[in-house]
Structure 1
Amino acid sequence: MKKKLLFVIPGLDAGGAEKSLVNLLSAMDESRFSVDLFMFSHEGLFMGQIPNWVRVIPKNAELANFQKPLFYSLLTFLKKGKLSAAKDRLFFYVKNKFIKNPGIAEQYAWKHLRSACETPTEHYDVAIGFLEKTSNYFVVDCVAAKAKIAFIHTTYSELNMDVSFDLKYFDVTKNIAVVSPDCAANFKKVFPEFADKVYVMPNIVSPRLINKLAQESPEDVYETSLVSVGRLESVKGFDMAIEAARILNEQNIAFHWSIIGEGTERGNLQNLIDRYDLQNHFTLIGLKDNPYPYIRTAKIFVQSSRYEGKSIAVDEAKILAKPIILTNFTTAKDQIENNVNGLIVGMTPDAIAAGIIKYLEDASFTEHIIANLRADYFGTEHEIEKFYQLINE
C-alpha cells in the first residue's frame, strides 16, 4: 500500500523553498506514495511544475473569503453574520500591519488565520510543513497524521522570532528538517532540547534538467553581464548590489547587472538605481519561468545576501559553471570553497565590487574557478533517499 503524504506550503511563488518542493516532488517515486499538497495560495511561478500525480487540495470557502482584500473580506463575513470570522480577519490585518518584525507578525497572526482553515478530511501517514512558520503551524494544529515533520529553510536565529511560540510546535513534531549542516548547528543552538530531532535534508537539484533549460535564449543578452536571482527583500542584500554597481560605474568598468525576482523592495531598489543614474547598468527584470539562460550567459553570478539557509540559485549557478560571488553569510562556506570554486567576500558594497573586478580583470583566476566547477558534479538527485529515510524513521 502506498504511503500517504501531505505537504503544506504557503504557495508556489518564486523562492528557494518553493523550487525545492517542486524538485522534491518531481524526484519522488510515485509508485510508492500518494501525495496531497495544501497551499494557502494557488498562484505562483512554479504552479505549472507540480507533477500531475500530486493532488492539490482545494481551498475551503472560509479561507477564500478570509484572503480577500480586507474591506471585501469583512463585508462578506458580516453579510453572512459571521462576526467571529470578521473579528479574526481584522486582527489578522492589524497584527501583520503593525508588528514590525514580519516573522513575529506571522506567528501572532496565525491563530486568526487558523480560524479560517478547514481540517483536511484525510488521515496521513506523514504530514510535512515545508516552510518555517505558518506551514508548520498548520500541520501541527490542523492535520491528522501519524507523524509530523517541520522544515526550516534558513538560518533560524536570523529570523528573530518568538522562540517560545515555536517551541510548542517543534515539541510535537517527529523531526525537524534543515537544509544544511550550518543551519542544523544554528537550530540546535537555539533549541538544544530538540537536537536529536534535527535532520539535514539538502535541496534537490538536477543538472540534466537545468542544462536543458539553460539552452533557451534569454530575452536580453549583455556582453559583460552579472546576474543575481532572489526575492526583492532586504535579506537578499540587493541594496548592497546596487551600491557595488555604483562603485563599478565610477571606475568606468563595463557591466550590466540583472536581478531576476520580485518582492516588496522593488520600489526602494528602483529608487536607488535612479538615484545613482544606473538605469543603463542595472535592471530589475522581474520573475522568469526559466532563469537558467540568464545564468548561462552571464559572466558572473552574485549572491549578495545578508543571510541564507542554502541557496538553490547558487547550486544552479555551480551546475552551469558560473564564477560565483557570495557575501560571507553564515552558510556561505556550505556552498562554495573560497578561491577554489567561487569567491566569498565581505558583506559590503566595496567587497562585492572588488570580487567582481577580480573576476573581470584576472582571466587566469576566473578560468581556474570555471575549470574547477566543470570538473565537479553538483547534482543532488540522490538526496531523495535521505527524504525517504526521513519519512520512514
Structure 2
Amino acid sequence: MKKKLLFVIDSLEIGGAEKSLVSLLNMLDSSIFETDLLLFKQGGDLERYVSRNINILPAPEYYRFLNSEKFKVSKNMIYFYHRLKTSINLRLNNINKRTLHSEQIVYKCIHKIIKAPEKKYDVAIAYSQGMPTYFVANKVNAFKKLAWINTDYVNTLYNKDIDYESYKKINKIIAVSKNTMNSVSKIREEYNKKVDIILDILDPNMIKNMAEEHQVVEFDKSAVNILTVGRLVSAKAYEKAIEVANLLKKEGYNFKWFAIGEGPDREKLQQLIKKFDLNEYFVLLGKRLNPYTYMKNCDIYVQTSIKEGFGLTVCEAKILKRPIVCTNFPTAKEIITHEEDGLIVEHDIQSIYYGIKKYLANDNFKENIIKQLNLIESYSSVNEVEKFYDLVRN
C-alpha cells in the first residue's frame, strides 16, 4: 500500500524553498507514495513545473475567500469579520514595541475557521516555518509530522514560546544547513533530539536544462554583465550592491548590474539608483520565471545577502560555472571555497567592491576560478532525497 503524504507551503511563487520543494516532489517515487500538495495561495509561477503525479488540493476556504472566491452569505460574513480582525491586529502589532511575526498574528486570528483536509495521512510535511508549520501541527491528521526550517530561526521575529506550542507536536524538525540546525538547537534543548539536516534539494540537470530555454536580450555584449538574484528585501542588502555599483561607475568600469526578483523594497531601491544616477548601470529586472538563462550568460554573479537559509542561488550559479562573489553569510563556507571556486567577502561595501574588482582587474584569476569550477563535480543534493525516504519510511 502506498504511503499517503501531504506537503504544505504558502505558495509556489519563485523562491529558494519553493524551488527545493518542486525538485523534491518531482523526484518522489509515485509507485511508493500517494502525494498531495496544499498551497494557501495558488497560481505561483513554479506550479507549472510540478509533476502530474502530485495532486494539488484546493486551498482552504478562507484563503480562497481572500482570493475573491464567493461562498454563502453567512460564510462570507464570517470570513470578512476575520479578515478585518486580522488587519486590525497586524496594524496594532506594528506599533507594539514587542513585535510578533506577522504569521503568528494571522494564525492567532484565523485558526478557528481554518479546516484541514479530511483525509488521514501517514506523513504531513510543513515545508516552511510559520503558517505551514502551524497548520500541519494543529490541524492535519497524520501519523507523523515533519517541519522544515529554512532560515536563521533564532534571529527571526517569531516568538519562540508561541512557536513551541506547535513544534512540540512535530516529530522531526528539518534544517536545511548546519547553521540552520545550530540556530534551531539554541532555542530549546528538546529540539536537539528532533532536529535533522536535509539540504535544499537541487537537481543540477534541471538547472542546466532550464538555462538553455531562451536567449537573454537585456545583457549588453559590450559591457561586463553582473547578476544578482533574490527578493527585493532588506536581508538581500541590495542597498550595498547599489553603492558598490556607484564605486565601480566612479572608477570608470564598463558594466551593467542586473537584479532579478521582486519585493517590498523596490521603490526605495529605485530611489537610491536615481540618487546615484545609476539608471544605465543598475537595472531591476523584476521577477523572472527562469533566472537560469541569465545566470548562464552573466560575467559575474554577486550575492550581497546578510543572511541566507542555505544560499540556493549561489549553488545554482556554481552549477552554471559562473565566477561568484558572495558575502560571508553563515552558510557561505558550506558552498564556496574562497579563492578556489569563488570569492567570499565581508558584508561591507568596500569588501564587496574589491571582490568584484578582483575579477575585473585580473583576467587570469577569473579564468582560474572558471577552470576550477569546470574541474569539480556540479553541486548536487539529489542524494538528500534518500534522507527524506528514510524519515517517511521509519
TM-score range, shorter chain: over 0.9
TM-score (norm 1): 0.94
Q: Equivalent residue of 2:155, what SS?
A: helix
Counterpart mapping for 1:203-218 below 5 A:
203-215=200-212, 216-218=214-216
**TM-aligned CA deviation for residue 77 of structure 1:** 8.8
**TM-aligned CA deviation for residue 165 of structure 1:** 0.9
Q: Equivalent residue of 1:125, what SS?
A: strand
Counterpart for residue 149 of structure 2 = 152
Counterpart for residue 308 of structure 1 = 308
Q: Is the 8 A contact 1:259 1:286 kept in 2?
A: yes
Provide the C-alpha distance between the structure 2 equivalents of 1:40 and 1:93, rounded to a whole number of angstroms. Answer: 18
Q: Indicate whether 1:99 and 2:93 are aligned.
A: yes
**TM-aligned CA deviation for residue 98 of structure 1:** 4.2
Q: Indicate whether 1:140 and 2:134 are aligned.
A: no
Q: Is the 8 A contact 1:77 1:83 kept in 2?
A: no
Q: Equivalent residue of 1:89, what SS?
A: helix
Provide the C-alpha distance between the structure 2 equivalents of 1:214 and 1:137, rounded to a whole number of angstroms. Answer: 36
Q: Is the 8 A contact 1:199 1:390 kept in 2?
A: no
Q: Is the 8 A contact 1:155 1:307 kept in 2?
A: yes
Provide the C-alpha distance between the structure 2 equivalents of 1:112 and 1:85, rounded to a whole number of angstroms. Answer: 11
| 1:175-218 per-position Cα deviation (integer Å, ceiling 9, x unaligned) | 00011111111211123221011110111222222222212311
Counterpart mapping for 1:260-275 below 5 A:
260-275=260-275
Q: Equivalent residue of 1:164, what SS?
A: helix
Structure 1: runs of 5 or more not aligned: none
Percent same amino acid among aligned pairs? 35
Greater shift, 304-313 or 211-220, is seen at 211-220
| 1:60-80 per-position Cα deviation (integer Å, ceiling 9, x unaligned) | 444322455xxxx9xx79953
Counterpart for residue 391 of structure 1 = 392
**TM-aligned CA deviation for residue 86 of structure 1:** 3.6
Q: Equivalent residue of 2:267, what SS?
A: helix
**Structure 1 counterpart of 2:388, which letter?**
F
Counterpart mapping for 1:164-313 below 5 A:
164-215=161-212, 216-223=214-221, 224-313=224-313
**Structure 2 counterpart of 1:118, which letter?**
K
Greater shift, 212-221 or 133-142, is seen at 212-221
Counterpart for residue 337 of structure 1 = 337
Q: Is the 8 A contact 2:126 2:148 kept in 1?
A: yes
Counterpart for residue 323 of structure 1 = 323
Instruction: Decide whether aligned partners of structure 1 residues 95 and 77 sit closer, same or farther in structure 2, where only a CA change above 3 A counts.
Output: farther
Q: Is the 8 A contact 1:306 1:329 kept in 2?
A: yes
**TM-aligned CA deviation for residue 233 of structure 1:** 0.9
**TM-aligned CA deviation for residue 9 of structure 1:** 0.3
Provide the C-alpha distance between the structure 1 equivalents of 2:309 and 2:60, rounded to a whole number of angstroms. Answer: 32
Q: Equivalent residue of 2:239, what SS?
A: helix
Instruction: Decide whether aligned partners of structure 1 residues 334 and 155 sit closer, same or farther in structure 2, where only a CA change above 3 A counts.
Output: same
Counterpart for residue 80 of structure 1 = 74
Counterpart for residue 29 of structure 2 = 29
Count residues with an aligned counterpart.
387
Provide the C-alpha distance between the structure 2 equivalents of 1:334 and 1:139, rounded to a whole number of angstroms. Answer: 30
| 1:325-362 per-position Cα deviation (integer Å, ceiling 9, x unaligned) | 11111221121111121111111222111110011111
Instruction: Decide whether aligned partners of structure 1 residues 61 and 105 sit closer, same or farther in structure 2, where only a CA change above 3 A counts.
Output: closer
Structure 2: runs of 5 or more not aligned: none
Provide the C-alpha distance between the structure 2 equivalents of 1:256 and 1:116, rounded to a whole number of angstroms. Answer: 50
Q: Is the 8 A contact 2:61 2:114 kept in 1?
A: no
Aligned mate of 1:127, from 124, 127, 131: 124
Provide the C-alpha distance between the structure 1 equivalents of 2:37 and 2:78, rounded to a whole number of angstroms. Answer: 28
Provide the C-alpha distance between the structure 1 equivalents of 2:113 and 2:260, rounded to a whole number of angstroms. Answer: 34
**TM-aligned CA deviation for residue 256 of structure 1:** 0.6
Instruction: Decide whether aligned partners of structure 1 residues 188 and 81 sit closer, same or farther in structure 2, where only a CA change above 3 A counts.
Output: closer
| 1:105-129 per-position Cα deviation (integer Å, ceiling 9, x unaligned) | 2112212232342221110000000
Provide the C-alpha distance between the structure 2 equivalents of 1:230 and 1:380, rounded to a whole number of angstroms. Answer: 21
Provide the C-alpha distance between the structure 1 equivalents of 2:269 and 2:281, rounded to a whole number of angstroms. Answer: 14
Q: Equivalent residue of 1:210, what SS?
A: helix
Counterpart for residue 346 of structure 2 = 346
